[in-house]
């Protein structure tokens, strides 16, 4: 009975989510209310469930809801007018259902409103079939089919979960919101192999191959506001390895990515300034994290290679190697109160770190500060209960290298090298 009620609630939300695409006004409010009802209801169900735990073994429903305020001064990161904004809404609902001993279904629907950061609306973050191919005391092998989430980078699996990631806005050079829907997961196949030993600790190897659909809005976000054609991701191949020595507070990881994209121009007759083109993107990261009782340190260092063949004119060629890193520290002042400090430094071309050559080569059309992105962040997180947190942070940013659109930037709005933002966010999850 309870199981059925839960399922109905999930179906109701999903159908509401689908309606989103039709009418966008009033929508976030309706969805918010629906979600709150579902959330309260689900929590109540959990509390009343004392006698029916067999249900929770095969079916689980989880979700989160968060709302914040964000104010950006000096860039169009969130909005064009620079006013205080409520465009910081993240709502998610996920379910997992154990089909048989070795097969499981899992899926998550997310509704986002982040202003210019990404397209407003609902999307399916993952919807997959998990086959537990092998499991014993020390080994686990799983194959995931469908839309799976990217678990390769330090925070890629928690980037869209407000309370699970370390800050409201993540280091944009890795967790770039403009690429969010492409980077958060793929449609295809993924495999995970885990091994645990008392001597050497835990090893996690993950491989994935797939592609992500790219909407017209995303195409404009990534390429240019004037791109009238359509972009497609042809493939996205990734691998990562994590190692945590036995009983150690440290964990180390490496990841590799290669992706290919194509752009089909709508043609100059249809007002498209741009030409057919191929893009490739390679991304290599190394990361480490230390989790102590009070102190936590983490960092990622990375190199990317971005090539363009076409786009501006048929014979255009670009081959840029960008590099970056961030270092982050968190300190647990009390059981509930955590402080955060982070520094991020990223440049798009390692041979032109200050962007001067780019400015010259474009005849000043793209100012030098579009060549880098440096972000100094401080923040605070307070856990009110086991399921309810509030967070606040301040960012001092230098450079416009991580503002959309990426390929053909907009220096008219983003006319300053330095910009700042602050944000507060309330988060509830179950």
Partner 1 sequence: MLILACLVNPQALAIEIVTHPQVAESSLTKSQLRRIYTMRQLRWSDNRAITVFVLPSQHSLHQRFAKERLQIFPYQLNRVWHKLTYSGLGVAPTIVQSEQELIQAVINTPGAIGYVGDKTLIKLRQQHEQGLISAFKISQKVTNMEEEQKVSRKGVVNVVKIKD
Where do contacts with partner 1 occur on this chain (CB under 8 A)?
Answer: 46-47, 50-51, 53-54, 56-57, 60, 62, 64, 92, 94, 96, 98, 101, 104, 106-108, 126, 128, 130, 132, 135-138, 140, 142, 144, 148-149, 151, 157-158, 161, 163-164, 192, 194, 196, 198, 202, 246-247, 291-293, 332, 335, 383, 385-387
Cα angle 133, 239, 188; round to 5 = 60
| In the complex, least distance from residue 327 CB atom to partner 1, rounded to whole angstroms | 19
Least gap, CB of 54 to partner 1 (angstroms)? 7
Q: Rank residues 151 and 219 by Cβ distance to partner 1 and give the closer one.
A: 151
Q: How many CB atoms lie within 10 A of CB 393?
A: 21
* Residue 407: CB minimum distance to partner 1, A: 30
In the bound state with partner 1, the residue whose beta carbon lies nearer, of 192 and 342, is 192
CB 125 within 8 A of CB 110: yes
Residue 416 DSSP SS3: coil
Q: Output the furthest CA–CA distance in the chain (Å, rounded).
A: 72
Cβ neighbors of 322 (< 8 A, separation 6 or more) are 303, 304, 305, 306, 346, 347, 348, 349, 350
* In the complex, least distance from residue 96 CB atom to partner 1, rounded to whole angstroms: 6
- How far is 253 from 236, CA to CA, in rounded Å? 19
418: enclosing H helix or E strand: strand 418-429
Tell me the closest approach of the beta carbon of residue 285 to partner 1, in angstroms: 17
- Give the residue with the Cβ less far from partner 1, 69 or 380: 380
Between 137 and 351, whose beta carbon lies closer to partner 1? 137
- The answer to whether the peptide bond before residue 405 is cis (omega within 30 degrees of 0) is yes
With the CA atoms of 71, 75, 78 and 79 taken in that order, what torsion angle do they form, in degrees rounded to the nearest 10?
Answer: 90
Of residues 108 and 167, the one with the C-beta less far from partner 1: 108
Strand partners, 287: 253, 300
Neighbours of 337 (CB within 10 A): 12
How far apart are CB 291 and partner 1 at their closest, in Å?
A: 5
Residue 89 C-beta: closest distance to partner 1, Å: 17
Residue with Cβ nearer partner 1 (224 or 389): 389
Paired strand residues for 307: 280, 319
How many beta carbons lie within 10 A of that of residue 212, not counting itself? Answer: 21
Residue 268 per-residue DSSP state: G
The least distance separating partner 1 from the CB of residue 103, rounded to whole angstroms, comes to 13
Supply φ then ψ for residue 371, to 5 degrees. Answer: -90, -5
Nearer to partner 1, 196 or 307 (CB): 196
Nearer to partner 1, 345 or 383 (CB): 383
β-strands 372-385, 89-98 pairing = unpaired
Rounded least distance, CB 276 to partner 1, Å: 36
CA geometry: angle 331, 335, 339, nearest 5 deg:
25
The smaller minimum CB distance to partner 1, of residues 330 and 395, is found at 330
């Amino acid at each position: 009975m309870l199981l059925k009620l839960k399922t109905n609630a999930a179906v109701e939300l999903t159908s509401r989510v689908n309606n989103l695409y039709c009418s966008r006004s009033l929508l976030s409010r309706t969805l918010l209310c629906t979600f709150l009802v579902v959330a309260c209801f689900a929590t109540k169900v959990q509390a009343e469930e004392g006698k029916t735990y067999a249900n929770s073994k095969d079916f689980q429903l989880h979700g989160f809801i968060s709302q914040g305020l964000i104010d950006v001064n000096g860039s169009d990161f969130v909005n064009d007018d620079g006013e205080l904004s409520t465009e910081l809404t993240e709502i998610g609902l996920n379910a997992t259902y154990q089909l048989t001993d070795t097969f499981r279904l899992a899926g998550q629907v997310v509704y986002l409103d982040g202003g210019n950061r990404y397209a407003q609306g609902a999307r399916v973050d993952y919807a997959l079939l998990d086959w537990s191919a092998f499991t014993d005391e020390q080994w686990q092998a799983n194959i995931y089919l469908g839309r799976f989430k990217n678990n390769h980078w330090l925070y890629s699996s928690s980037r869209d979960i407000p309370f699970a990631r370390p800050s409201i806005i993540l280091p944009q050079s890795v967790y770039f919101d403009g690429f969010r829907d492409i980077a958060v997961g793929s449609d295809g196949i993924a495999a995970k192999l885990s091994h645990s030993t008392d001597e050497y600790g835990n090893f996690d190897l993950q491989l994935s191959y797939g592609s992500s659909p790219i909407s017209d809005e995303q195409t404009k976000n990534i390429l240019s506001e004037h791109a009238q054609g359509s972009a497609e991701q042809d493939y996205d191949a990734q691998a990562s390895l994590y190692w945590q020595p036995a009983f150690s507070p440290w964990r180390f990881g490496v990841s590799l990515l290669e992706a290919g994209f194509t752009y089909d121009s709508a043609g100059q007759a249809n007002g498209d300034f741009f030409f057919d083109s191929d893009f490739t993107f390679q991304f290599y990261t190394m990361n480490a994290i230390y989790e102590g009782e009070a102190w936590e340190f983490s960092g990622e260092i990375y190199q990317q290679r971005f090539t363009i063949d076409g786009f501006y004119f048929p014979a255009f060629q670009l081959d840029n190697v960008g590099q970056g890193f961030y270092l982050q520290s968190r300190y647990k002042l009390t059981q509930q109160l955590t402080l955060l400090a982070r520094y991020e430094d990223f440049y798009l071309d390692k041979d032109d770190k200050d962007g001067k050559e780019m400015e010259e080569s474009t005849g000043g059309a793209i100012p030098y500060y579009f060549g880098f992105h440096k972000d100094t962040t401080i923040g605070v997180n307070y856990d009110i209960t086991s399921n309810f947190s509030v967070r606040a942070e301040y960012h001092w940013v230098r450079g416009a290298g991580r503002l959309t659109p990426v390929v053909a930037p907009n220096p008219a709005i983003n006319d300053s090298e330095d910009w700042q933002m602050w944000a507060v966010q309330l988060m509830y999850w179950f």
